[in-house]
Amino acid sequence: MTVLTESSASSESPTGTESSVVFDELAALLPASQLMATDEGASYYRDQSDGTASGLPLAIVFPANTEDVAAIVAIAAAHHVPVVPQGARTGLAGGANAVAGCLVLNTTRMNKIIGVDRDDQTATVQAGVRTIALARAASAVGLFYPPDPGSWRASTIGGNVATNAGGMLSVKYGVTGNFVRQLTVVLADGSVVRTGQRTIKGVAAYDLTALLVGSEGTLGIVTEITVGLLPAPAAAFGVSATFATVAEALAAASVIVASSRRPSVLEYLDGACITAINAYDPASALPAGTAALLLIQSDEAGRAADDVRTYAETLRAGGATAVVIASDAVALDELMNARRLLHPALQAVRGASLNEDITVPRSQLPTLLSSLEQISAELAIPIAVGGHLGDGNLHPIVGFDPSSEVDVAAAQEAYARIIRLAISLGGSATGEHGIGVLKQDHLDDELGPVLRALQERVKHAFDPDGIMNPGKKL
Amino acid sequence: MTVLTESSASSESPTGTESSVVFDELAALLPASQLMATDEGASYYRDQSDGTASGLPLAIVFPANTEDVAAIVAIAAAHHVPVVPQGARTGLAGGANAVAGCLVLNTTRMNKIIGVDRDDQTATVQAGVRTIALARAASAVGLFYPPDPGSWRASTIGGNVATNAGGMLSVKYGVTGNFVRQLTVVLADGSVVRTGQRTIKGVAAYDLTALLVGSEGTLGIVTEITVGLLPAPAAAFGVSATFATVAEALAAASVIVASSRRPSVLEYLDGACITAINAYDPASALPAGTAALLLIQSDEAGRAADDVRTYAETLRAGGATAVVIASDAVALDELMNARRLLHPALQAVRGASLNEDITVPRSQLPTLLSSLEQISAELAIPIAVGGHLGDGNLHPIVGFDPSSEVDVAAAQEAYARIIRLAISLGGSATGEHGIGVLKQDHLDDELGPVLRALQERVKHAFDPDGIMNPGKKL
């Protein structure tokens, strides 16, 4: 990982003359409102990750539809100019950061909900539609789009597809990819394909839809997405429980995971997260002075209240110091909203943070959490841990002062050790945020050379000239 | 589609001398019990599909583990000999049929359950483990492997992965691919990779696991599979209902699909299926003299009985002529077992059958079913329809007498028309059986040239010499 805020254009980027030819071609294609010169568009250079490198783009473009994207990519392909797609730039791994001499292709003007089909329980949207807008459009006709990444009020569906975003409801409903049926994709030569099928099942061809999900824009640019929806669930009931020790919280959660009543939410926050969230937004009012907090919900029709009573008994039997049942939507939203502040709250503690997104087999959670305490102590750097306990996908957050060289070095070391720890426990560097540029150094540890080479052949099959978001993912 | 039982070796297959060199190398590698000459192994030439072509293999091999498979594929690669993997040969599209001069690689001796991890809710098995054996191993420790293709007593997990098999429980739980976490795969050069991750979530690399699922052995040979499991569900309750018209059955099913109580089974049989199943196995005793039968179940803890009562009310309100609730496991099993006889029962009616596996958006089911009646009448060929109504994945079965040229021609015409119909309704030729050789002619209609070319580039990235199950899938 390289902690840089901006790198200079590399020697491979187009010369000034070539750049101006490309810019002129774009200006001939797009109205002025859809094309921005580099000096106007600095806010589009990068996502929300701290400490990731970005380069100076050639221009920022704002296509309105698939045809615009195809024409832009055709120009880029003709001049061998890299294209970096981005949505709302809520990413946490630098996947949407500009690379030197690229076109930044921002999808936020592609924000049209093309249709919601109540009978077939599907929705088709442009890639720049916000996650919450899709969820609301589904809800308006009695349907449900479950994936709810932390940034869902701002994030786009295209960005969610690019990282295969999860969220708090993933423990029951799965991640973005579990809902994606069809993708309209602009390939590296500007041609357009639609992958997948509208139907629930389908095995006519290789599942390129699944391959594109999570590919961070390195195989093609997703412009339209058809998702499957579910009937709206029942109103949720929830329970929160505090524990004097992390071990008791983990043990109680294990009992719930092993039961046949599947919670719709099973989240974890440690004491440091609670302190940071309460400091960041005092309205959060999470219970202070505790080692660990579990948030658990059920949204099962005709059973949610009974599920939550059962969970509450399990939590009490597991030694919870306080157990609070909430059947009130407002109270539940407050808890969920407080939980969603995890990243900004921890970023605020020391001014910057490195956000982990590790996964481990659930049986390894006790070892993981005790090892994280050790790393924090050894490097004298704060590590707060929260996240999706039910999925084994946690977000240890390493806070650091970006102006302190000592802090930066310790944070980098902690960050790398945590990923190596997760991999050594049978896990992965990333469950839902992606590799981006932040985790590049760890990919080889995880894949090994033969699988890495196969991945590169697949990339080459899609993008032989390497212009699609180069330097990301692989 | 070509109706052939065997084709002669093509001009591209190895010469006799080369073949004997390959056979000698295999004989040096494998014990005699794991290698079979062509003349001994005719039963391994093909799967259960009627009317699909197969070729004469060079030999049949029975590897015991990944190392055997790697060594066999290395020999095949060195001599440019095609390799056709197969499990229990329960396929219905010819995907496991031998091609001329190939090695048939039968995985049924790779039948070891490597481990079931109760805490992490996973199981790792060799590819030749039978589906039912995995389900039972999971059940023995209180866990659940849901995918239950019709042939699950015989079919192998490797075959299920190759076709992304579904089953009756897919309407609630999803298909095989939804449970696959990791695959050990022998690539076309004999190298071995492990794709995916043990954890629930993971986006570190392109999702080659999802790409391999459903690829019918054309990208590599899957030798070991790690699946995610669920906690065991509650005992199921079920309800069956008969209808005087297909339209009423479809309308009642739509109401159930739109509700927040998701059934674990939602199956459909028309009158012709019922007649054929009762004739094939009189013990089935399905209710005769009716236009359509729905089978619906719930396995939700603490709610199954209530779910089924709710479904029964919906069915009665929808005009069902008879509604029978079953809470008894034996009675439920009888209904499910009768439903599982669909393919053999219809095959028996005229001696052979072409088994469709079409999917359509659920809103198109009424149009689909009335159009099928029309095709049957126009071509004077019986078409019985049953299958996974809740998924929009039906199995129209075209019965024919293989000794009658008129019947064969009419069956072929009906088969092709049905696929074109499904595609024209926004559906697909195959939901869970695969393309194999049977549906090759229809793939272009579904994909179009740009997507087809992209698929071929992906195939080439895995298998540049085209030795992995050539002529299948694409």
pLDDT at B246 over 70: yes
Average model confidence (pLDDT) for chain B? 94
3-state secondary structure chain A: CCCCCCCCCCCCCCCHHHHHHHHHHHHHHCCHHHEEEHHHCHHHCCCCCCCCCCCCCCEEECCCCHHHHHHHHHHHHHCCCCEEEECCCCCCCCCCCCCCCCEEEECCCCCCEEEEECCCCEEEEECCCEHHHHHHHHHCCCEECCCCCCCCCCCEHHHHHHHCCCCCCHHHHCCHHHCEEEEEEECCCCCEEEEECCCCCCCCCCCHHHHHCCCCCCCCEEEEEEEECEECCCCCEEEEEEECCHHHHHHHHHHHHCCCCCCCEEEEEEHHHHHHHHHHCHHHCCCCCCCEEEEEEECCCCCHHHHHHHHHHHHHHCCCCEEEEECCHHHHHHHHHHHHCHHHHHHHHHCEEEECECECCHHHHHHHHHHHHHHHHHHCCCEEEEEEHHHCEEEEEEEECCCCHHHHHHHHHHHHHHHHHHHHCCCECECCCCCCCCCHHHHHHHHCHHHHHHHHHHHHHHCCCCCECCCCCC
Task: For residue range B186-205, list pLDDT tens digits in order.
Answer: 999 999 999 999 999 999 99
Q: From CA B394, how far away is CA B342, in angstroms rounded?
A: 11
Contact B142 A215 (CB under 8 A): no
Contact residues on chain B for A202, CB-CB shorter than 8 A? 359, 428, 430-431
For A454, which of B120, B187, B427 is closest by C-beta distance? B187
The alpha carbon of residue A364 is apart from the nearest alpha carbon of chain B, in Å, by 9
What pLDDT score was predicted for residue B8? 39
Inter-chain Cβ pairs, chain A and chain B, closer than 8 A: 277
What pLDDT score was predicted for residue A1? 39
pLDDT at B10 over 50: no
Contact residues on chain A for B121, CB-CB shorter than 8 A? 257-258, 362
Contact A204 B446 (CB under 8 A): yes
Contact residues on chain B for A203, CB-CB shorter than 8 A? 163-164, 214, 428, 430-435
Q: From CA A363, how far away is CA A370, in angstroms rounded?
A: 13
Contact residues on chain B for A211, CB-CB shorter than 8 A? 206-208, 210-211, 458
Helices B271-280 and B342-350: crossing angle, nearest 10°? Answer: 80
For A427, which of B199, B426, B473 is closest by C-beta distance? B199
* Closest chain A residue to the Cα of B195, Cα to Cα: A451
What pLDDT score was predicted for residue A279? 95
The mean pLDDT of B342-368, rounded to a whole number, is 94
For A193, which of B201, B219, B451 is closest by C-beta distance? B451
Query: What single string gives the DSSP state of each residue in B148-164?
Result: --TTTTT-BHHHHHHHT
What pLDDT score was predicted for residue B14? 61
Contact B194 A391 (CB under 8 A): no
Three-class secondary structure of residue B384 per DSSP: strand
In order of their start, the domains of chain B are 16-106 (3.30.43.10), 113-231 (3.30.465.10), 234-340 (3.30.70.2190), 347-438 (3.30.70.2740)
B168-201 core/surface letters (b: 16 or more CB in 10 A; e: else): bbbbbbbbbbbbbbbbbbbbbbbbbbbbbbbbbb
Contact B455 A426 (CB under 8 A): no
* Closest chain A residue to the Cα of B188, Cα to Cα: A454
> Mutation test of the interface with chain A: which of B201, B367, B368, choosing the one with the most A Cβ atoms within 10 A?
B201
What pLDDT score was predicted for residue A44? 96
Per-residue pLDDT of chain A (474 residues; tens, 9 = 90+): 334 344 433 445 567 788 999 999 999 999 999 999 999 999 999 999 988 999 999 999 999 999 999 999 999 999 999 999 999 999 999 999 999 999 999 999 999 999 999 999 999 999 999 999 999 999 999 999 999 999 999 999 999 999 999 999 999 999 999 999 999 999 999 999 999 999 999 999 999 999 999 999 999 999 999 999 999 999 999 999 999 999 999 999 999 999 999 999 999 999 999 999 999 999 998 999 999 999 999 999 999 999 999 999 999 999 999 999 988 888 888 888 899 999 999 999 889 999 999 999 999 999 999 999 999 999 999 999 999 999 999 999 999 999 999 999 999 999 999 999 999 999 999 999 999 999 998 888 899 999 999 999 999 999 999 999 999 998
Contact A200 B359 (CB under 8 A): yes
For B302, which of A208, A215, A303 is closest by C-beta distance? A303
For B201, which of A203, A231, A359 is closest by C-beta distance? A359
Contact residues on chain A for B363, CB-CB shorter than 8 A? 117, 119-120
> Mutation test of the interface with chain A: which of B164, B172, B180, B199, choosing the one with the most A Cβ atoms within 10 A?
B199
Three-class secondary structure of residue B343 per DSSP: helix
pLDDT at B370 over 90: yes
* Closest chain B residue to the Cα of A441, Cα to Cα: B204
Contact B204 A177 (CB under 8 A): no
For A205, which of B191, B307, B455 is closest by C-beta distance? B455
Contact residues on chain A for B178, CB-CB shorter than 8 A? 174, 178
* Closest chain B residue to the Cα of A189, Cα to Cα: B450
* Closest chain A residue to the Cα of B474, Cα to Cα: A205
Contact residues on chain B for A432, CB-CB shorter than 8 A? 201, 203
Contact A362 B119 (CB under 8 A): yes
The alpha carbon of residue B209 is apart from the nearest alpha carbon of chain A, in Å, by 9
* Closest chain A residue to the Cα of B452, Cα to Cα: A205
Three-class secondary structure of residue B55 per DSSP: coil
pLDDT at B5 over 70: no
Contact residues on chain B for A454, CB-CB shorter than 8 A? 187, 193, 208, 461-462
Contact A205 B447 (CB under 8 A): yes
The ipTM is 0.95
> Mutation test of the interface with chain B: which of A203, A213, A298, choosing the one with the most B Cβ atoms within 10 A?
A203
Contact residues on chain A for B188, CB-CB shorter than 8 A? none
3-state DSSP helix/strand/coil percent for chain B, to nearest 5?
40, 20, 40
Contact residues on chain A for B420, CB-CB shorter than 8 A? none
Reference A186, options B387, B321, B171, B454; nearest CA is B454
What pLDDT score was predicted for residue A154? 97
For A208, which of B197, B201, B454 is closest by C-beta distance? B454
Contact A259 B231 (CB under 8 A): yes
Contact A232 B260 (CB under 8 A): yes
